Chain A
């Protein structure tokens, strides 16, 4: 494996800054109600200033190290590697405080909210990981926190609802539409419109209006930067493939960002078959930006269906849309049944119970093991599976999905 170097400065950067209108190629932008335009512009200025400020970066790094547990391990999954015939390295974001990569973004945004003089953060959540992380950061930094969550997801993830409440957050059910993540985003945006002067919208993925897709990716870039250095130290070179699951796409954006400028490294995003916006969507505008979207012939947004509440989203971040468009990253769908198999496989071979979201990434690796034979593969293990154990038990006891158990 050759150690390839990043492209020279001056060349247009892959996963660099979006253009001044917040676009990655033809995707992105700022499609929000007029009420929110000044708040988005203010956030962009504040982020730009903070990100260039060593004081802010130092504070965030300090919290990452002393509170969230960074750097996260890059773990060589030897038994599973042997079984699959490849070299599998797991980026252990599941070992972060609160159990997923989400902590990277919420600490960044909560610090920024304080810097902007906001006293309240609003968040949406699907599986509850971003909601729990937001409630945690709000508790840590003394901010009020309100989390919007689809009513269906509140039932699927009741323990996470209780966790958020324990952490002092208010959890409000989203009762409209499919009552899942997309509706929670709608409710959070409505709440932000009504309370924009006091509140920061702590958006949980690389989606939404500019500057969110860029800002959230930058807060997660640490995943990819660490993984690249750890991989070089461990293997003496760069991986052949980097794999991550994609709903909105924040964990994938974070790990891709560390490798995007290494042209020999393949970037793979894995989507649920029932919510495969990047692999099967059509460009559309919802939740603030142009991106690939599951929609009907008239532009009505369709509902996603996935065993994983965190990936139950009909869109995907605009930068992923651009990476798919240019071919720099590939996006592949996997089915719920395949995901459940991978979930069990990692538990049995490595003693690690992954979040159902990350089991998507592993599922693709398992299916592609012949073509990946002998290669070095980094998978972002973006969250732990404790939250999903009860749901998986229910599914397996009911006979599994599609006859797979």
Chain B
């Protein structure tokens, strides 16, 4: 499996801003094609959602995508089965995003092994904060899966170095107070969060939640090492945008980031 942190650090060292688009696993018959299209469009990693029944950190778009995926009979097993070999084939690492109960139910060690066997490089579990992450993070470390932690604007300064020390792959800077979903403007807190994190860590700092278009991605990357984009892409997909057109959209964000 691809080493997430090494991969992202290498891209950053080459002077590149990091772009991580999101796909809801099991959303439709073409979801793996969408992963490949995003890889071709210049993604530095791809976040794949494993749908959960109660996604408390997600707004209406990702909730809807989760409901659609679950309605099609999507399970963690089916998503990981479909992902097998995809990262090796594209050369772009895959990071899953899901909620802790799916790991807890399977068992931390077993779930981490399942991710590793599918070639998944990392995992984001947004309901598993620093104080509770221990057993999972140890299991993930042992399986070679990067356990990515989130840092939010409400964290006092002294908390951030602790989060960065336990995070693997990159650190996920939550741009604002709120759940995932499109916003008309980049929150003022987005670059502040990135600055606060850059001041305490050498890990790649990626801003996510609310990054809604190329201009906002560029604005965030004035400070951050990269961005995660999810709701805008899934909204377009749910509205019927084709794999080709959505790939082209991600490529346009890539160009905007490259041009600064």
Contacts and interface: CB of A to CB of B under 8 A. Distances in A.
Interface stretch (B36-44, B147-155, B236-244): B147-155
B105 A284 contact: yes
B126 A33 contact: yes
A283 B104 CA distance: 9
Interface string A155-197: 0000000000000000000001100001000100110011111
Given A32-B129, A34-B129, A34-B151, A193 B57 contact: yes
A298 B56 contact: no
A100 B55 CA distance: 31
B81 to A, nearest CB: 13
B54 A37 contact: no
A284 B100 CA distance: 9
In this complex, the interface size class of chain B, counting residues with CB under 8 Å from chain A, is 35 or more
Q: Which of A38, A195, A285, A299 is the most central at the interface, judged by chain B CB atoms within 10 Å of its CB?
A: A299
A273 interface: no
A295 B177 contact: no
Interface in A196-232: 196-197
A39 interface: yes
Contact of A194 (B70, B103, B126, B177): B177
B179 interface: yes
Given A30-B131, A193-B177, A194-B179, A301 B54 contact: yes
A182 B54 contact: yes
Interface string A29-43: 111111111110000
Contacts of A286: 54, 101
Interface in B48-96: 52-57, 59, 63, 67, 70, 75-77
Contact of A295 (B100, B105, B150, B174): B105
Given A190-B59, A301-B54, A35 B154 contact: yes
A299 B131 contact: no
Contact of A29 (B63, B75, B132): B132
A293 B52 CA distance: 14
B178 interface: yes
A193 B179 contact: yes
Contacts of A290: 104
Given A37-B129, A298-B77, A298-B105, A31 B179 contact: no
Nearest to B70: A300
A193 B178 contact: yes
Interface string A283-308: 11111101001010111111000000
B156 interface: yes
SS of A interface (majority) = mixed
A76 B63 CA distance: 50
A34 B130 contact: yes
Contacts of A35: 152-154, 174, 177
A177 B54 contact: yes
B102 A299 contact: yes
A376 to B, nearest CB: 41
Nearest to A293: B101
Given A39-B154, A285-B104, A295-B101, A31 B127 contact: yes
Contacts of B130: 34, 37
B131 A21 contact: yes
A38 B126 contact: no
A282 B105 CA distance: 9
A177 B104 CA distance: 21
Nearest to B154: A38
A82 B141 CA distance: 64
Nearest to A182: B54
Contacts of A190: 56-57, 59, 178-179
A285 B156 CA distance: 26
A298 B152 contact: no
A1 B20 CA distance: 69
Given A182-B54, A193-B178, A194-B179, A33 B102 contact: no
20 contacts: A32-B129, A33-B56, A33-B126, A33-B150, A34-B163, A37-B154, A182-B54, A189-B56, A190-B57, A193-B57, A193-B179, A283-B104, A290-B104, A298-B76, A298-B77, A298-B102, A298-B105, A299-B52, A299-B106, A301-B53
Which 4 residue pairs are nearest across A and B when measured between Cβ atoms? A299-B105, A35-B152, A194-B178, A299-B101
Interface of B: 52-57, 59, 63, 67, 70, 75-77, 99-106, 126-132, 149-156, 159, 163, 174, 177-179
